[in-house]
Amino acid sequence: MIKRSFFSLAAPKLTYPILTTPSTKPVDIPLPERAQLILDHPLNGPLGIGVGDMVKTGQRCGDREDNYFISPVTGTVAAISATVGYMGKNLTAVSFKVDGKDRPDEEFRNSESSSELERVTRFLGYLPGQPDFSFLTGIRDNLKTVFVSGMDKDLLVSTNSLIAKTEFAELKKGMAIVRKIFEKKRIIYLLPEGVRPEGEIEGVEIKQMPAVYPQFFPKIVMKKILAIEVPTGIRCDEMGAGFLSAEAVSNLGKAFSSGSIPLDKVITVIKKDGSTAFARVRLGTPARHIMDVLGIKIAKGDRLISGGPLAGITLSSVDAPVCGDTDALMIQDAAAAPPISAAHCVNCGECVRVCPAHVPVNMLIRLLENKLYDEAARSFDMLSCIECGLCGYVCPAAIPIFHYVMLGKFEYERARSLEVQNA
Amino acid sequence: MLNEQLLAGAHAPFWHNGDRITARNYNIIIAALPAAIAGILFFGIPALRVLALAVSSAMVWELLINRLMKKPPTIADGDAALIGLLLGMLLPATMPWYAVIAGTFVAIVVGKMIYGGLGCNPLNPVLVAFAILTLSWKVMLDYDAALVSYEVAFTPLYPLVALKHFGPAVVGKYDIWGLLMGNQLGGIGAVFGLGLVIGGCYLIVRGFIRWEISLSFLAGIFLTALIFNLAGPEKYASPVFHLVTGFSLIGAFFFATENSSSPVNFIPMILYGLGGGAMTVLIRNIGAFPEGVVFAILLMNVINPLVDKIRPRALGRRA
Ligand code: SF4
Ligand code: SF4
């Protein structure tokens, strides 16, 4: 854990780790006995597949054009159930009983005669690295720039840096596909300062950002590199920029060169002592299986976190699966958990000065404590928050500010959607 | 076997930089010690008595209020002790015990706890108490009358009163270094200027107070005093004299910087500091009181919420 330095006048920056040795090879985790996919929508209708159905590795399941999933394993569907995610979001969980051996599905390979765009939209929306291809279909014409980020968002997470370092050939192929799909768009490969790719990539600009948290958050990137400030309540793609992770682009390259859909996710495992390791796992693998293979013990009261130390999300079960966007699994010892207090804000202003979005956090927290979400959004810039967690990291009163802000945003959106429904 | 209940849920961030209110308060107490100890050496046992009584009674008041409101005790956070210490440092060593206790009562109860405790006070609690003591027991806080029995090797006058009554010609007798080293009458912890500067620098370097406020407060005093001094050198003292006398230094490093009653944004901090400094000199030079720091900072506390509205535009905010 990075602590405040003794001489704090010149505030130390939280810097991202930069991989200097590419020798860190991910450990290959064998297939688990059970796998689970979490689908990003509530369970409200048939999925085009049922319990007991057989599936093959890479099989496209689902009956609707835009609503499908790719089976990560060969086996049978063991259960389909409703589940909840972060902030009570309703999701669908599909569990598989895994056969020992992969039998690949051939539908993607046989679609070679279709255009790249068709193949990508039909099969590759759930690649490991969670590419957001939504901007491919809807507002594609509006899009001016596509960023490929060779850096991870949170500290200690190095999944995308590793890919940028070790999978240059695949990345290059993936970028070529991206260029084909996004004809005439500007494509920017983002890297931390001091890091250069192995070679030239045709038609791709390279831009470097300081390796300081949270420089690699999309809205900061847009402001720094494109000089575009994304208004609150608007997504980056609506302002003309799409973001893809290096891992997703590398997997795009692999998909087209191998003819099969990549289903292995690279994750950074952050251990209790803060050291990290890499693992290559099949999508849907339960965290417990990975920890067992790596010999990491999880004890009562520990935290299992998807993501990094500043903006990750705790998982409620050791059986939680690796999803397309699980870039890291962090295990935190019960004793290392920072205290939270119900104390009042003392108005020291640390949060205000650290906030990259200039949110007046010291004022905002007073409204949020009193559940005045509307006012918080209107007059105190709650919606400008880019969700970096720095405010909570520095607060000497140990107020869970970041939690308050996220809750505030959630309640605000909910009240607004209710208003729309009732109107 | 592990099951779901075994894992602990929480919200990010899962790291904290280790900064704590309690540690901040204890560090401010430590930073105040050089000046406080110098005061004890200088004014003797009576000074120690006032400081000890102020610290302990402040803590007792806070504990009593905690009990009364059926809240868990908060004195371990060091804030009550700090308030007591700082109030004691402003008082003359001859302050009677009941006035000290009344002072800490006002500071803790009226200045802080009725607003909800630490962090909720709109005004600096110590200065509220000192202002009320000034208005109720004027004579006790007349440093010349109070400290008349002290045998000293320098002009035994409270410099700012001397200035008010006799003009800059008399105060020319004070040498600046001597004033900084504590050769002046005044509050127990306010006379040893060098100690206050050292303590203040320590707090600034460690990031426990906001340098913007301290420096702009001193700049405000200096610039305003300079203007007066240039306009009428025979009537108004030099800016440096203003910086090293009265509560200028203790105000700049220990009072203007109190978290809850001061701004957090850059431009507001500068305005707040400059305004406080300027008001101080205005009160001293043309107001009714010889010392202006207390009322100047209280005034700035009042307008702080307005000043602190000047802040950078948040990311993506539509004008
Ligand atoms: S999480 Fe906190 S520090 Fe980060 S952008 Fe939001 S309010 Fe600012
Ligand atoms: S860091 Fe915490 S105590 Fe300081 S102003 Fe922000 S919320 Fe208040």
CA distance B250 to chain A (A): 19
Q: Does A330 touch chain B (CB under 8 A)?
A: yes
Q: What is the pLDDT of residue A10?
A: 61
Q: Do the Cβ atoms of A347 and B260 come within 8 Å?
A: yes
Q: Does A13 touch chain B (CB under 8 A)?
A: no
Q: What is the pLDDT of residue B1?
A: 42
Taking phi first (over 0 means left), then psi (-120 to 50 degrees means alpha), and beta for anything else, what does residue A227 get?
left
Q: Do the Cβ atoms of A360 and B117 come within 8 Å?
A: no
Q: What is the pLDDT of residue B126?
A: 98
Q: Does A305 touch chain B (CB under 8 A)?
A: yes
Q: What angle do CA A237, A238, A240 make, to 5 degrees?
A: 60
**C-alpha radius of gyration, chain A, whole number:** 22
Q: Which of residues 88-147 of B touch A (CB under 8 A)?
A: 116-120
Q: Do the Cβ atoms of A2 and B6 come within 8 Å?
A: no
* Residues in chain B within 8 Å Cβ distance of A409: none
Q: What is the pLDDT of residue A20?
A: 62
Q: Do the Cβ atoms of A384 and B316 come within 8 Å?
A: yes
* Residues in chain A within 8 Å Cβ distance of B265: 349, 352, 360
For chain A (423 residues), the mean pLDDT of every run of 10, in chain order, is 73 73 81 95 86 95 80 96 91 94 94 90 90 67 90 93 94 94 90 90 94 94 96 90 95 96 96 93 97 93 94 93 96 91 91 96 96 95 96 96 96 90 78
Q: Do the Cβ atoms of A393 and B15 come within 8 Å?
A: yes
**C-alpha radius of gyration, chain B, whole number:** 21
Q: Does A78 touch chain B (CB under 8 A)?
A: no
Q: Does A223 touch chain B (CB under 8 A)?
A: yes
Q: Does A81 touch chain B (CB under 8 A)?
A: no
Q: Does B8 touch chain A (CB under 8 A)?
A: yes
Q: Do the Cβ atoms of B18 and A304 come within 8 Å?
A: no
Q: What is the pLDDT of residue A45?
A: 79
**Quick check: A412 and A377 in contact, CB under 8 A?**
yes
Q: Do the Cβ atoms of B13 and A389 come within 8 Å?
A: yes
- What is the model's pTM? 0.93
Amino acid identity of residue B223, one-letter, is L
Ligand 1 pocket member A383 (CB < 6 A): no
Minimum CA distance residue for ligand 1 atom 6? A385
Q: pLDDT 10s per residue in chain B (319 long)?
A: 444 457 888 999 999 999 999 999 999 999 999 999 999 999 999 999 999 999 999 999 999 999 999 999 999 999 999 999 999 999 999 999 999 999 999 999 999 999 999 999 999 999 999 999 999 988 888 888 777 777 776 777 788 888 887 788 777 677 888 888 888 889 999 999 999 999 999 999 999 999 999 999 999 999 999 999 999 998 999 999 999 999 999 999 999 999 999 999 999 999 999 999 999 999 999 988 889 999 999 999 999 999 999 999 999 987 6
The ipTM of this complex is 0.92
Taking phi first (over 0 means left), then psi (-120 to 50 degrees means alpha), and beta for anything else, what does residue B162 get?
alpha
Over residues B76-113, the pLDDT tens digits come to 999 999 999 999 999 999 999 999 999 999 999 999 99
Ligand with minimal distance to A405 CA: 1
- Tokens representing A411 are 């309640």
Q: Do the Cβ atoms of B18 and A229 come within 8 Å?
A: no
Q: What is the pLDDT of residue B2?
A: 44
Helix or strand holding residue A117 (H, E): helix A116-123
Amino acid identity of residue A343, one-letter, is A
Q: Does B311 touch chain A (CB under 8 A)?
A: yes
- Tokens representing B292 are 């202006």
Q: Identify the CATH number of the domain defined by range A1-30+105-262.
A: 3.40.50
Our mutation pick for probing the ligand 1 site, out of A350, A385, A407, counting the most ligand atoms within 8 A of Cβ, is: A385
Residue A37: Cβ within 10 Å count: 22
Q: What is the pLDDT of residue B87?
A: 98
Domain-by-domain residue ranges, chain B?
21-140, 148-307
* Residues in chain A within 8 Å Cβ distance of B21: 343, 346, 396-397
Cβ-based neighbours of A65, under 8 Å, separated by 6 or more: A122
Q: Does A12 touch chain B (CB under 8 A)?
A: no
Q: Pick B21's closest partner by Cβ from A318, A346, A362.
A: A346
Distance CA A125, CA A104 (A): 18
Which residues belong to CATH 3.40.50 in chain A? 1-30+105-262
Pocket (CB within 6 angstroms of ligand 2): A 345-351, 361-362, 365, 394-397, 399, 401
* Residues in chain B within 8 Å Cβ distance of A332: 14
Amino acid identity of residue A321, one-letter, is P
* Residues in chain B within 8 Å Cβ distance of A313: 12
Distance CA B52, CA B189 (A): 13
CA atoms within 13 A on the CB side of B170: 14
> Helices (H), strands (E): how many in chain A?
12, 16
Torsion sign across C-alpha atoms A82, A83, A84, A89: negative
Q: Which of residues 173-232 of B touch A (CB under 8 A)?
A: 204-208, 210-211
